[in-house]
Amino acid sequence: MIGPLDEYPLHQAPLPIAWAATSDRNFYDRCYLNAHDRTGDIFVITGAGYYPNLGTKDAFVLVRRGDVQTVVRLGDAIDDDRLNQRVGPYRIEVVEPLRRLRVVLEETEGIAMDLTWEGSFDVVQEQPHLMRTGSRVTLDAQRFAQVGTWSGTLSIDGEEIAVTPDRWVGTRDRSWGIRPVGEAEPPGKPADPPFEGMWWTYVPLRFDDYAVVLIMQEQPDGFRTLNDCTRVWKDGRVEQLGWPHVAVRYAPGTRIPTGATITCTTPSRETLTLEIESLLAVPIHVGAGYGGDPDWSHGIWKGPNFTERATYNITAPDVAGRVMFGVIDHVAHATCNGADGWGLFEHAALGRHTPSAFPDWLTVTPPTPA
């Protein structure tokens, strides 16, 4: 199992670098990237994952335009050459570590892309993320995030879209560690107390002079288990922005956000107010394999050289009914004390969240009065 990476002084355990230091089946190493042209007319989300203890790797490219969400999913057996990240016709090239990437999908099921990422600021190392169910660790992850711009081309069923850095922006992250992946495990004893839900907000934003990366998770009673908010400047300065207060606005009769107001505090006690507007909502559990997706999940073995395309109409009853029961990524337009910014607003309010006045899994915001 010795591979090319073993030529480098990178080892963290007395093992070949291709072997995880834990035998936990849920060990993973994954990246996520998104791109949009600031209009809300199109949102491209893509990513790739390696699952050494499951022997698999996979990738996806999702495009939403209007009410239609189209995804190409790919899978294959894992290999030892992690320097060349490739899943069939999909590949990620590290042009300049932590700054420039090239993401390519050779034409597959009518979709193709050749996009180059340019980080606008240094990456942000987020706080470690740990979750337990009873005594068992279900998530133990490290992540870094970055905001930036895109250039290149995107092709959808013969229509070629030019991607230029003056218009196209996005965010990306890479995380690794332990999280549920692959086929479902035997549940064992029911959780005690039972899982009642979670509240999640992840907001990386790009402004002209700085980037803001915010990540929060709360338990059903509002107790915050993850709180990390950072501003990074072009000269490399990093500021912690305290304990943000978040007010999410939901579309009437749903749990689908339309925007949010987030109030942060700098080390000098200056108040920063982020006003966020959703221009396009993309449920990433509809086709892209994230939690609750009934059609495809990360890490599942689909056979060698697997590819498939799927298309979803978000307004169709069988899809619309499950949109708010998972994580939703939004094309985000934002202001911060008057500065104009763009990025990602990712949110989920699943199950009970007392501060949001959601007492159970099915309660939604009140409908608009007739």
How does pLDDT run across 327-342, given as a tens digit for each residue? Answer: 999 999 999 999 999 9
pLDDT band of 307, cuts 50, 70, 90: very high
Q: Average pLDDT for residues 72-99, to the nearest whole number? A: 95
Q: Looking at the predicted structure, is the pLDDT value of residue 19 above 70?
A: yes
Task: Give the model's pLDDT for residue 262.
Answer: 98
Q: Answer yes or no: is pLDDT of 187 > 90.
A: no
Residue 67 has pLDDT above 90, yes or no: yes
**How confident is the model over 1-8, as a mean pLDDT?**
82
pLDDT the model gives residue 10: 85
**Distance of CA 180 to CAs 25, 163, 183, 263, Å?**
9, 34, 9, 32
Residue 370 confidence (pLDDT) above 70: no
Cis peptide before 317 (omega within 30 of 0): no
One-letter identity of residue 192: D
Mean pLDDT to the nearest integer, 242-268: 97
Residue 369 confidence (pLDDT)? 65
Task: Say if residue 252's pLDDT is above 90.
Answer: yes
pTM over 0.85: yes
Per-residue pLDDT at 364: 96
Tell me how far apart the alpha carbons of residues 187 and 191 are, in angstroms, rounded to a whole number.
9
Which long-range contacts does 244-249 make (Cβ < 8 Å, 24+ apart)? 244/214, 244/216, 246/201, 246/216, 248/201, 248/347, 248/349, 248/356
CATH 2.60.120.200 matches 4-181+196-356: no
Average pLDDT over residues 238-251: 97
Q: What is the pLDDT of residue 4?
A: 84
Exposure string (b/e) for 24-57, b if CB count within 10 Å is 16 or more? ebbbbbbbbbbbbbeebebbbbbbbbbbbbbebb
Chain segment 287-305, per-residue pLDDT in tens: 999 998 999 999 999 999 9
Domain boundaries, the chain: 4-181+196-356
pLDDT of residue 75: 98
